[in-house]
Amino acid sequence: MSVPPTGSGVPREQVDALFAQALDLEGAQRLAWLDRITADDAALRAELDDLLRRADTPSLLLDPRSLASGPLWQALAQDIGEQTRPEQALLASGTGIDAWRVLHPLGRGGMGEVYLAERSGGEFEQRGALKLIRSGVDSGEFLRRFTQERQILASLDHPGIARLLDGGRDAQGRPYLVMEYVEGVALDAYCDRHRLDIRQRLALFADIGRVVAHAHRHLIVHRDLKPSNIVVNAEGEAKLLDFGIAKVLAADGAAPLPLTRTVAQLFTPEYAAPEQIRGEAVSTATDVYQLGLLLYELASGRRAQTLDDGSPASLQRVICDTVPPPPSQRIDGDRDIAFARNTAPAALRRQLRGDLDNIVLKALR
């Protein structure tokens, strides 16, 4: 879904970028800059003037005298209080959810909380990662996505994908699912900690590629491939986690064309593909692009893209309009990066130059 144009007809992300630049200027310098930027576009000038006027006009709602007892202050105080008291949102150890007993929290994300849990009672013992959607965000969109995640995980039977063990609703009606609990560390940390050389990293990366290919054969795109979503266990086996924002391309097994588009843009900016930044439909090429970013980082120790900030203009410029240099050109004598790859900087540069450079840049094309 593309970003809707503004009143001037200029894309919103461009107006936002120009507005942000204008805010950094003052007085005659700002006026001269506006005259130059909008010389041939009166509608754009009017829109920017309106935004700047609003930004420069003090709001009574933000006056310190009205904040003390006003509804805005109360809402902010309540929100801050909830954020600074995370223990109130976490389930206590021993809490029972159907056949599962919570042991301790593992993490928290925008969708919910994840706990280490064990199956209580029954004829066998089992541990799992219980994912519980957090209170207050159980809207129709979240519930639909949560249900989709359960369906996707249940359909993907592969040793490289964390298995779905159970699912349902707790006593308050909140949806939950229980996934295979994978003990291990994130992919990048594992490679550096064990000083895997380039050949060993490529072998592990090939295993990950086969897992992604398995999902693609089921017409499913992960679209959030990043090191923290890939865990390597003590045996050196990679497991792919979190299909929460995966995409079912064709439920009837027909041509792999997207059936729907989600309203929200759900991605990790540092590992986003250009079509995600533009709000366009994803495809298997999205995962290929993210695999390219992953291989770039595993090989060179650098991210392919360096974001100035999280603004739409920055994301558009860096991800959509900038071609990253080959990984071999990012090896600039950093001995720590070379040491983590069990080699020296000059040797590492030679190993990446040629085929690996071309493969990575092909994936990022």
Structure tokens at 220: 């499913």
In a domain, 4, yes or no: no
- Same domain? For 117 and 58 the reply is no
Looking at residue 75, its pLDDT comes to 44
- Asked, for residue 115, whether it belongs to a domain, the answer is yes
**Structural domain span for residue 248:** 185-363
Is pTM beyond 0.75? Reply is no
Query: Is the same domain home to 173 and 207?
Result: no
Q: Based on the fold, state whether residues 204 and 348 are members of the same structural domain.
A: yes
Q: Is there a single domain that holds both residue 262 and residue 311?
A: yes
CATH code: domain of residue 276: 1.10.510.10
The answer to whether residues 323 and 239 belong to one domain is: yes
| 33 and 114 assigned to the same domain | no
Domain boundary among 159, 180, 201: 180
Q: Does residue 7 fall inside a structural domain?
A: no
Q: What is the pLDDT of residue 257?
A: 34
Question: In this structure, what CATH number is given to the domain that contains residue 117?
Answer: 3.30.200.20
Number of domains in the chain: 3
Tokens 């071609």 appear where?
A: 323
Of 150, 180, 210, the residue at which a domain comes to its end is: 180
Query: Are 242 and 101 in the same domain?
Result: no
Q: Are residues 239 and 97 in the same domain?
A: no
Q: Is 224 a catalytic residue?
A: yes
Q: Mark whether 196 and 168 lie in a shared domain.
A: no
In this structure, the answer to whether residues 345 and 313 fall within a common structural domain is: yes
Domain boundary pick from 180, 207, 237: 180
| Residue 5 placed within a domain | no
- Does residue 330 sit within a domain? yes
Q: Does some domain include residue 135?
A: yes
CA distance 204 to 188: 11
174 and 197 in one domain?
no
Are residues 233 and 359 located together in one domain of the fold?
A: yes
Count Cβ neighbours within 10 Å for each residue of 262-291 and write b for 16 or more, e otherwise.
Answer: eeeeebebbbbbbbbbbbebbbbebbbbbb
Q: Identify the active-site residue in 224, 242, 287, 357.
A: 224
Dump pLDDT digits (tens) for 184-221: 999 999 999 999 999 999 999 999 999 999 989 888 88
Q: What is the pLDDT of residues 167-185, one digit of tens each?
A: 888 888 888 888 888 889 9
List of the chain residues with pLDDT < 70: 1-8, 56-89, 109-111, 122-123, 134-146, 148-150, 244-266, 310
